[in-house]
Amino acid sequence: MAKTELRSEVEIDAPLARVYAVLTDFARYHEWNPYLPVVRGELVVGSKLAIELSLPEGKTYELMPEVTHVTENGELRWRSYWLLPGLLEGEHFFQLREHAGKTRVMQGQDFSGFLLRFAGNSLTLAARGAVYMNQALKKRAESGS
């Protein structure tokens, strides 16, 4: 089965708790997040989220992933699939680490499935979207908004 991993990191000059608070305040994503402008639902393992994923220079997708992991001030993960498991699956995650008053955020997306070979430019746009989101998260957390 085909697999692709995308990773994007950013260092934010803000404490871990501040970055985590911005990252988990889904109700305000529309104010700053160009990649995931809409996320609704509870950040509880086993619950479903409603996500609008907006690819740069591309399409917008509606996703209904299941939250698979939540560690306060540490890590968030959700997983979704298209039509049926095995066709196209994706796991999206954020890992946060604090060092010397700054926070390093790694955003990752792991894709697998039969249809992955046809994803083409969408994966490039997804990688770019994650970078844009990381930069927007940095700006938001550092501004104290």
**Domain total of the chain:** 1
Q: What is the CATH number of the domain that holds 25?
A: 3.30.530.20
Whole-number pLDDT of residue 1? 66
Beta bridge partner(s), residue 39: 51
Beta bridge partner(s), residue 52: 38, 62
pLDDT of 141 above 90: yes
The span from the CA of 40 to the CA of 38, in Å, is: 7
Whole-number pLDDT of residue 65? 97
pLDDT (tens digit per residue) in 81-105: 887 778 889 999 999 999 999 999 9
Confidence of residue 121 (pLDDT cuts 50, 70, 90): confident
Q: Tell me if 46 sits within 8 A of 65, measured CB to CB.
A: no
pLDDT of 117 above 90: no
SS3 content of the chain, % helix, strand, coil (to 5): 30, 40, 30
Mean pLDDT on 57-83: 93
pLDDT (tens digit per residue) in 29-62: 999 999 999 999 999 999 999 999 999 987 899 9
Q: E-strand spans in the chain?
A: 3-12, 38-40, 50-54, 60-63, 66-71, 75-81, 89-99, 102-112
Tokens of 84: 């049926």
Mean pLDDT on 6-33: 97
pLDDT of 69 above 70: yes
- Residue 85 structural domain: 3-143
